[in-house]
Amino acid sequence: MVLETIAPIARNLVPPGLIVALVLFLALAIRSKTIGSLQAELSIFLTIWVVAELLRVLGILNLIGTSPTLQLITVTIHTLSMVAFGLFILFRFYRVSKRGR
């Protein structure tokens, strides 16, 4: 019963929430001083991730027409962003551990 009450509310809040997140991460990326800064790298990564999630959610809610091609593109963007995030974390960890020696 509770889920039936919460689901429509959540359904209507997710797209605006993703748009707010997109604007915030874009603003953070633009404000960063260099592209190599941690703030810029994380903001760019999160912007790509939010765009993929926004497309996916809009398709699920039938607010945009989806085709198998668009679904594949959103899953591919999501997967690539996760791989990029993993590489980003590994690179940052490597740099920090190398400095400590």
State in Å, rounded, how far the first CA of the chain is from the last one.
57
Q: Please determine, for residue 101, whether its predicted confidence score (pLDDT) is greater than 80.
A: no
* Average pLDDT in the chain: 84
What does the alpha-carbon distance between residue 56 and residue 70 come to, in Å, rounded to a whole number? Answer: 9
User: What is the dihedral sign for C-alpha 87, 93, 94, 95?
Assistant: positive
In the predicted model, what is the mean pLDDT of residues 12-22?
A: 90
Give 25-34 contacts, CB < 8 A, sequence gap 24+.
25/50
Q: Please determine, for residue 63, whether its predicted confidence score (pLDDT) is greater than 70.
A: yes
Q: Please determine, for residue 1, whether its predicted confidence score (pLDDT) is greater than 80.
A: no
In the predicted model, what is the mean pLDDT of residues 82-96?
A: 84
Band the pLDDT of 92: cuts 50, 70, 90: confident
In the predicted model, what is the mean pLDDT of residues 63-90?
A: 84
What does the alpha-carbon distance between residue 17 and residue 40 come to, in Å, rounded to a whole number? Answer: 21
